[in-house]
Amino acid sequence: MTKKILIKSGTLITASETFLADILIQGEKIVAVGDDLDTQGAEIIDAAGKLVMPGGIDPHVHLALPMFDTISSDDHYTGHKAAAFGGTTTVMDFVVQEPQGLQYSVDLWREKAQIAAIDYGFHMNLTHLDEQVEREIPSLVEMGITTLKVFTAYNGRLRLPDGDIFKAMRIAKEHGMLTMLHAENGDVIDVLVEEALIAGHTTPEWHAHTRPAWGAVEAAMRGFALAGETGAPLYLVHMNVAGEVDMLHYARQRGLPVMGETCPQYLFFTEDYLRRADGAKWICSPPLRTEEDNTRLWEGLADGTIQVMGTDHCPFFFDGTVPIVYDGEQIAIPGKELGFHDFTKIPNGLPGVQDRMPVLWTEGVGKGYISPNQFMAVMSTNPAKIFGLYPRKGALQPGSDADIVIWDPERVVDYGVSMSHQRTDYNLYEGWKLTGYPEKVYLRGDLIVDGDEWLGAAGKGQYLHREPNTGVL
């Protein structure tokens, strides 16, 4: 007989409403939301005094991503487990484009993700374009991949020339796909990096000095202009600077089909962190900026200019020569120490997939920057809509997957590595006191996190075949 669960007397938080109701789950789906539901045969979960939310969706993570001479230290099991503990039940990561073709590249990533513990989708990194690739792009939609990420930086590695981005966006538009843009100026970065190294500047702060904010602003606007020239939608990833918010606002006001995502690190930290003795912990690309940028990003989130809160979770050990114990095993993966003598060799990226919802609840909702409903919109419903998963995901509605978080708004935690399941040796929010934390997390009706206990398993996460033609929020 199909399992029935009744989540009773919780306060439901959706992207648009807050209300008291019960939720009935049958098997993997929500079957009813309301009062006086038929509880016969159901396990009753008392959620009185608790908040009940759709599972979080983090559309920007990098799991087991090879970088420089190492690999991001969470794989498709540990990263998923960490996500779940933070209230996230769906993640999307980026397939590396291999020379053997897009199908081959996706197959490799599907293989890596066999150990998935939550549901997941993929974006395709488009880092090389020729006629063969152009012909192959539409086949991604049949594979359930409706998004291409392009780069205006990382010259000689990931960058596409503007003309190729233009061509890719035209193809994407024709097939109902969405282009995602990493916006920095790769040419300027190359000049500044060369000059910095010649001058003997090797410390982490030079990572920020060599990747100027104006490059991000200009490249973002270049992307929006390409959206204007092609009519194709564009989603700006990891927004990090005030001028990007201004440009996004400008472009949206003029009716361009453009949207944006920021990440917690760009709201809380500045390039000053790079000057610390452990500054390498904060190396990511684009880099951290200034307090003015933090403030403008908060404003953009609050006024709806920015639609999504991702993480760009791409963790590395701070000191990958010293093992940590993870799931009872000693583990050490080369990390930031690779660039101890040269900032250009420090792997770029930060942990954050577990931190995202608890930190933003305390700092965003708790401090009144955003409402609980805005929180839900940027954490779950908007990414579900933008990335072709709504209303299967991102909603508490009959027919939606029963991806549900019961959130204890009163739980106070001393946050940091001791609570984190992210497989790395540090946490950006070490010592922060957070109020509000997930208590129970359900993935398609299965309880996978119960308090501090892990009930999930490798292989239980499902690949999400996403829908094209999602429109612009």
Q: Which residue has the tokens 């282009």?
A: 179
**Rule CB under 5 A: is residue 75 a binding residue for Zn ion?**
no
> Which residues within the stretch 169-188 sit at the binding site for Zn ion (CB under 5 A)?
182
CB of 228 to Zn ion, least distance (A): 22
Closer Cβ to Zn ion, 7 or 263, answer by number: 263
Closer Cβ to Zn ion, 182 or 281, answer by number: 182
**Rule CB under 6 A: is residue 62 a binding residue for ligand URP?**
yes
Closer Cβ to ligand URP, 248 or 346, answer by number: 346
Whose CA is closest to 429, among 321, 281, 325?
Answer: 281
Q: Are 109 and 95 in contact (CB under 8 A)?
A: yes
CB of 64 to ligand URP, least distance (A): 13
> Which residues within the stretch 126-165 sit at the binding site for Zn ion (CB under 5 A)?
none
Residues 6+ apart with CB under 8 A from 114: 76, 459
**Rule CB under 6 A: is residue 181 a binding residue for ligand URP?**
no
426-441 per-residue burial string, b: 16 or more CB within 10 A, e: under 16: bbbbeebebebbbbbb
Q: Are 395 and 381 in contact (CB under 8 A)?
A: yes
Closer Cβ to ligand URP, 348 or 400, answer by number: 348
Residue from 22, 205, 261, 312 that binds ligand URP (CB under 6 A)?
312
CA 391 → CA 7, 78, 214, 400, 402, distances in Å?
20, 27, 38, 6, 11
Q: Which residue has the tokens 């809160």?
A: 309
CA 137 → CA 15, 30, 146, 199, 354, distances in Å?
33, 35, 9, 43, 32
Instruction: Write each residue from 125 to 154 as x if it is in contact with ligand URP (CB under 6 A), else as -, in one continuous string.
Output: ------------------------------
Output 18-24 pairs: Cβ under 8 A, ≥24 positions apart: 18/372, 18/373, 23/52, 23/396, 23/402, 23/404
3-state secondary structure of 281: helix
Position of minimal CB gap to Zn ion: 182
Closer Cβ to Zn ion, 182 or 336, answer by number: 182
> Which residues within the stretch 288-317 sit at the binding site for Zn ion (CB under 5 A)?
312
**Rule CB under 6 A: is residue 285 a binding residue for ligand URP?**
yes
Q: Are 300 and 306 in contact (CB under 8 A)?
A: yes
Instruction: Write each residue from 349 to 368 as x if it is in contact with ligand URP (CB under 6 A), else as -, in one continuous string.
Output: x-------------------
Residue from 216, 314, 377, 434 that binds ligand URP (CB under 6 A)?
314
Residue from 124, 220, 258, 284 that binds ligand URP (CB under 6 A)?
284
Q: Which residue has the tokens 């939310």?
A: 53
Closer Cβ to ligand URP, 217 or 370, answer by number: 217
Q: Are 410 and 59 in contact (CB under 8 A)?
A: no
425 binds, among ligand URP, Zn ion, none (CB under 5 to 8 A by kind): none
CB of 105 to ligand URP, least distance (A): 16
Residue at 87: amino acid letter: G
CA 394 → CA 56, 378, 450, distances in Å?
7, 10, 21
Instruction: Write each residue from 18 to 57 as x if it is in contact with ligand URP (CB under 6 A), else as -, in one continuous string.
Output: ----------------------------------------
**Rule CB under 6 A: is residue 164 a binding residue for ligand URP?**
no
CB of 437 to ligand URP, least distance (A): 26
Task: Give the residues across from 446 on adjacent strands.
Answer: 443
Q: Where along the sequence are the contacts to ligand URP (CB under 6 A)?
A: 62, 182, 284-285, 312, 314, 348-349
